[in-house]
Amino acid sequence: MSLSPFHLAIPVYDLAAARRFYGEVFGLEEGRSSTQWVDFDFYGHQLVIHEHPKTASQDHAHTNPVDGHEVPVPHFGIVLQWTQWEALAERLKSFGTKFVIEPYVRFKGQVGEQATMFLLDPCGNALEFKAFKDMGQLFAK
């Protein structure tokens, strides 16, 4: 299955801090930019950070319970290959990242077993990164 790249634009109230975070901590390649926005190559997708006053969800995220953890809503992220996920978890730890939900495997032994981690960018946008050993479980019921 071939996926088309998505485009996601998110608000950031500190453009410089968010630019450093996505560029240095994640190591994402920067694309076009202006004084008010920056494009990043987010694993083949287009992520744009736009300077914008702080939003309510950045100030205090709502959460929903999932597998014994409080998952921030809204959030975005990507499904990686298992080894990519492990490498990203180690990279984030090496930068001293504070996780909302530490990297772990949820739904162990169940349909949809997956590795996941949640964190916030410097402007309070919640991100989730996950991986499946069996990508066929991505939409399993």
Q: What are phi and psi of 109, to 5 degrees?
A: 75, 5
pLDDT score of 1 more than 70: no
Q: Which residues contact 58 (CB under 8 A, 6 or more apart)?
A: 11, 13, 123, 124, 125
The rounded mean pLDDT for the chain is: 94
pLDDT at 67: 86
Does the reported pTM lie above 0.95? no
pLDDT at 48: 98
What domains can be seen in the chain, in order of their start residue?
A: 1-53 (3.10.180.10), 64-141 (3.10.180.10)
Q: Which residues contact 85 (CB under 8 A, 6 or more apart)?
A: 103, 115, 129, 130, 131
| % of the chain residues with pLDDT over 90 | 80
pLDDT digits (tens, 9 = 90+) for 33-82: 999 999 999 999 999 999 999 998 888 889 999 989 999 999 999 999 99
pLDDT score of 136 more than 80: yes
pLDDT at 110: 87
